[in-house]
Structure 1
Amino acid sequence: MPALQRRRLLFQLGFFALFLLAPALNLLRFDVHETQLWFLGQRWSLGIDAFKAGQISANQAAVQIVLRAFVPVIALVAAFLAVAWRYGRLYCGWLCPHFTLVETLNATLQRACGKLSLWDKHRTPRAGVQPAARWWPVFFGLCLVFGFLWAVTLLSYLLPPSEVWSGLRTGKLAPNPTRFLVAATVVFTLEFAFARHLFCRFGCAVGLFQSLAWMANPKGMVVAFDRDHARACRSCSTAAFPQGSACDNGCPMRLHPRNIKRMMFSCVQCGQCLDACSQTCSNQGHEPLLEWKIGADAVRETLRQRKAEKEAAALREGES
């Protein structure tokens, strides 16, 4: 595994563990029984109870609401979008727990049928991976396990985790939480099995707003393609993808990294296409044709892409 992917995997596993353990550690959860938000192990209060008890004035309560609710939320959203503005869906590719499971399911499904999605028309062959029917139960089993895990985790963000796990262990979970678990498990299982890529592209608000911010910034980080040496792509081959098109076949979102930016709307900046290109170019003895560009270099790449697109369109019109 390339160094970049090892580093990305560590970030993914670390954030995945944080996502699962945050409610139990009271790092972040909202207790519906107490209508109480917990943050970093502390009760987070807006001062409303103190106002009702006559301990603070209306003006003081208003100030606390602004400082404790609006300011943190606005600052968090602004910082998140600032990162997306410059780097794109960096959160999706490097931290998002859902995308970590998407990649796991992609690899499992590839072992079952050679595809990354049930809806793919063509297989995505990978060296050393021979599709076998015995992987189908594993794939659907993982979808069910992940769906249940997601349902339990989300419920623990709303109810005390000890209550949730105790109820599951003893079989005495209250009716409403039980209904939530059943419904959520079914929905998440179906999403993981049939619509995980669709959800990442268009159904996830977090990912969608990252993409919108990134697309609006011409200086945002892009995967640049050295078109002057595009002929080298004809002999593209890696150990994992000996059939060629390593960058295309290696993309977990099933995109074509050599395409123009507006066709890369759902790119998660995972860097797998760059690693694949680097490996094949190293075998051929020349510099990689794909690399990340940011700032002025990204603008020049965008302009170059637009020029190439116009020239290709003009050539097609001339031929017709």
Structure 2
Amino acid sequence: MGGVSPASWLPGLIQIKPLFLTAEYHSKSLGYSLVTVTKPHMSLSLQHKRHLFQAGFFLLFVLAPPLDLFRFDLTLNHFILFGRPWTLGIDQLVAGEISSTEAAANIFLRGFLPLALAAAGLIWIAWRFGRLYCGWLCPHFSVVETINRLMFRASGKQSIWEKSPQPELQPNGLYMKPDRRFWPLTWLAALFFAFLWAVSFLTYLLPPFEIYHNLFHFSLTGNQARFIGAGTGLLFIEFMFARHLFCRFGCAVGVFQSLAWMANNRGMVVGFDRSRAKLCGECNNACDNVCPMRLKPRSIKRRMFTCTECAQCITACETVQKPFARQTLLQWVEDEAAIAVATGRPVTSQKPKSQPVP
């Protein structure tokens, strides 16, 4: 396949070799039948690597303010970036220390340009590879998955709004029965993360060590206590009752990534080998069950609008098929092979080349 594969785009990070499938077109399906895999199986350590990235970025989210990597100090009225003040020069302009030309240059170079580059980079990555940030880095999605797992252990459902429990049979062949004793742990985890997030948000606005000192000595100011209390309460409600809704429709970063991704029919997407769909009859919809966003991975692209590219569905399918020495029915595809998933129509263009194995 042409273009840049996501596997080759992340070699220094997760070191996944290209695993994309060759496409052979059939008009009776969505337009292709995934028949050839350049490598027999995706490494099952993929999810472990993803969790390491999530944990690392979550720690960065919490520790960035106390390490002065990035925060906005309301007491100083400017940003701090890598331990140094990051100002637009407005105060210097008012004091007559710099000219209006220098102030305009500061606003462009220190304000507009970094924001534009960051936004453009995020949108381009989303356009090409989908919501990779959400599935691999986002600290909120890390909490979503954690609460999902705990709630599943407690009730057999990943959301309290689901009508019926999921199958007890897991992709690895083990049975997991709901255990109500996990409910207190679920509530405590949601409360803990809500409190941690509220405190972290406050440290992005006020000197972090002042907040930590006041917190540990029970000497928070009225405004600090109200901020942490209100933030903890609202985040607890969101984590327990609306975390999926927020990821789908409430998060501006996620929505814009989805919109950019949907605009590119050749962008990376989970492809389903419809020529072997009968094998799904031997499975209990494991790919659907594990999806943290509660999507149907075997659907066309527009029904996976909020897919976070976490690849849990791919790993689940691979796990189910591995004991039978069969190839996974789900796999990341891109370029020509992704068009059929995106449009739901047969592809009539030239058959794409298989991804080379490095």
TM-score computed with the length of structure 2 as normaliser = 0.81
Partner residue in 2 for 1:191: 238
> Aligned match of 1:65 in 96, 99, 107?
107
Q: Do 2:317 and 2:328's aligned partners in 1 also have CA atoms closer than 8 Å? A: yes
Distance 2:119 2:59 in 1: 23
Give yes or no for contact 2:286–2:317 (8 Å, CA) kept in 1. Answer: yes
In 1, the alpha carbon distance for the partners of 2:324 and 2:301 equals 27
Q: 1:105 aligns with which of 140, 143, 147?
A: 147
Q: Deviations over 1:174-215 (max 9, x none)?
A: 111111111111000011111111111111111111101001
Moved more, 140-149 or 275-284: 275-284
**Of 237, 249, 261, the match for 2:301:** 261
Contact in 1 for aligned 2:302/2:342 (Cα 8 Å) = no
The residue correspondences of 1:83-232 to structure 2 (distance < 5 A) are 83-124=125-166, 125=168, 126=170, 127-232=174-279
**5+ long unaligned stretches in structure 2:** 1-42, 348-358
- The correspondence for 2:345, drawn from 278, 283, 306, is 306
The one-letter code matched in structure 2 to 1:306 is R
2:119 and 2:303 map into 1 onto residues whose CA distance is 26
Output the amino acid matched with 1:18: L
Greater RCO (CA < 8 Å, at least 6 residues apart): 2
The answer to whether the Cα contact below 8 Å between 2:65 and 2:204 also exists between their aligned partners in 1 is: yes
CA contact (8 A) 2:80 2:86 kept: yes
Give 1:50 shift: 2.0
SS across alignment from 1:223: strand
Question: How many Å separate the matches in 2 of 1:216 and 1:279?
Answer: 32
**What RMSD, in angstroms, separates the aligned Cα atoms of the two structures?**
1.5
- 1:233 is aligned to 280
TM-score by length of 1: 0.91
Matched residue, 2:23: none
What secondary structure is seen at the aligned counterpart in 1 of 2:345?
Answer: helix
Are 1:27 and 2:69 an aligned pair?
yes
Q: Deviations over 1:64-98 (max 9, x none)?
A: 11111001100110001000001111101000011
2:301–2:341: 8 Å Cα contact kept in structure 1?
no
Aligned counterparts of 1:176 and 1:270: Cα–Cα separation in 2: 39
Q: Indicate the residue corresponding to 1:39 in structure 2.
A: 81
Residue 318 of structure 1: aligned partner: none
Q: Deviations over 1:269-306 (max 9, x none)?
A: 00011111112222233221111011222124434x33
Which residue identity lines up with residue 299 of structure 1 in the other structure? I
1:81-139 deviation digits (Å, cap 9, x = unpaired)? 00000111110100001111111111111111110000001112343422122111111
Gap change, CA 1:300 and 1:306, over 3 Å in 2 = closer
Decide which of 327, 330, 333 is 1:290's aligned counterpart: 330
Q: Identify unmatched segments of 5+ residues in structure 1.
A: 237-243, 309-320
Aligned length: 300
Which SS does the other structure have where 2:254 is aligned? helix
Q: Which has the higher helix share?
A: 1
Percent identity for Structure 1 against Structure 2? 50
Deviation at 1:62, TM superposition (A): 0.8
The Cα shift of 1:307 comes to 5.1
